[in-house]
Structure 1
Amino acid sequence: MKKLKSLSLIALFILGIGNTEVTAQNANAKLVHTQIVEKSADDVWKIVRNLDFAKYTKAVSNVKVTGKYGAGATRVCTAPDGKSQFKESILAYDDTNRTYTYAVVEGVPVKGLVNNFKVIDLGYNKSMIVWWSNYESFIQNPQMNEEQFTAFMKSSLTEIVTNMANDA
């Protein structure tokens, strides 16, 4: 029975049924991180949907969420040094489809940074966390070049998604 379930899941992915949403949503993304989780999508979404994500990354020590929870809310994320901050605006939030989108509007050396989270139900008590990011342009500055920024983002994406998956 287990072998049949595994073969069914593999067949879905070969046919493209299992990943069409992911491909359609991040085809032009500059950064993408995905992780399979051995938990239901609902269980994983309970973790991912929380807008206060400080416990999942070393890069943020505190998150302050203001406004109505969901689309329209804002977050101020403070770095461990207590001085550096970045501000975010929640653009879209959908519990039904297990997804949210937010823009980083201040505090990073890029213009138009938009990040997206999605939890996809893979069936058989499995799910996938997908986080993809896009930005318009890098802003030259003395603290960091674009290669360093991309490395930081990749590291953060991996750390946050991995820690969320482990917490689910």
Structure 2
Amino acid sequence: MAEASTSIDIPLSADQVWQLIGGFGSLPDWLPYIPKSELSEGGRVRHLANPNGETIVERLIAFDDAARSYTYAILKAPFPVKDYLSTLKVSETGTKASRVDWSGHFTPTTVSEKEASKLFQGIYEDGLKALAQGLEKSGK
């Protein structure tokens, strides 16, 4: 099994950051790689489109609003992995400071564990950088 994880510190309260990223359908609000998200099955499944028009389908496995965390699995995607499970979490680190952690583990199918980990490490790092830049630009 391969894994990847990253985190970023944000100079905003955890509640402010969670308001932006805590909705299961909110990826297009902060992740440039995902321009479209549609929810189904009562908000438990999201159908995403990437910039190439490829479909990614993910299922919400666990959601904890109080802990500002959710875990999801990929059901369908153009990625060379299976058994993908990921968690996105926002933690309070100070009065106006928080940390966002994004981690996942998965089983590579057509690439090495190192290659699969590198792929998702890049997605997580680029995603959290885009989140920080977007929050900075919006002046939140």
- TM-score, normalised relative to structure 2: 0.83
User: In the alignment, is residue 106 of structure 1 matched against residue 79 of structure 2?
Assistant: no
Using the alignment, how far apart are the partners of 1:60 and 1:93 within structure 2?
Answer: 21
Task: Identify which range, 106-115 or 91-100, moves more after superposition.
Answer: 106-115
User: In the alignment, is residue 32 of structure 1 matched against residue 14 of structure 2?
Assistant: no
CA contact (8 A) 2:20 2:29 kept: no
User: In the alignment, is residue 42 of structure 1 matched against residue 5 of structure 2?
Assistant: no
Offset, 1:80:
1.5
Unaligned stretches of 5+ in structure 1? 1-27
Residue identity in the other structure for 1:63: S
Offset, 1:90:
0.4
Using the alignment, how far apart are the partners of 2:4 and 2:36 within structure 1?
Answer: 24
Offset, 1:125:
1.2
Per the alignment, residue 160 of structure 1 pairs with 127
Offset, 1:29:
7.4
Q: Alignment length, in residue pairs?
A: 132
- Pair member with larger Rg: 1
Identical amino acids, percent of aligned pairs? 20
For the aligned residue pairs, the C-alpha RMSD in angstroms reads 2.0
Using the alignment, how far apart are the partners of 1:129 and 1:58 within structure 2?
Answer: 17
Residue identity in the other structure for 2:129: T
Secondary structure of the corresponding residue to residue 47 of structure 2: strand
Matches within 5 A, 1:1-150: 30-51=3-24, 52-69=26-43, 73-82=44-53, 84-107=54-77, 108-135=79-106, 137-140=107-110, 145-146=111-112, 147-150=114-117
Which structure shows the bigger proportion of residues in strand conformation? Answer: 2
Secondary structure of the corresponding residue to residue 47 of structure 1: helix
Kindly indicate whether structure 1 or structure 2 has the higher relative contact order, using CA contacts under 8 Å at least 6 residues apart: 2
Using the alignment, how far apart are the partners of 1:154 and 1:90 within structure 2?
Answer: 21
Using the alignment, how far apart are the partners of 2:95 and 2:45 within structure 1?
Answer: 35
Using the alignment, how far apart are the partners of 2:11 and 2:119 within structure 1?
Answer: 27
- 1:140-167 deviation per Cα after TM superposition (whole angstroms, max 9, x unaligned): 1xxxx34444333122101222222332
Secondary structure of the corresponding residue to residue 42 of structure 2: coil
Unaligned stretches of 5+ in structure 2? none
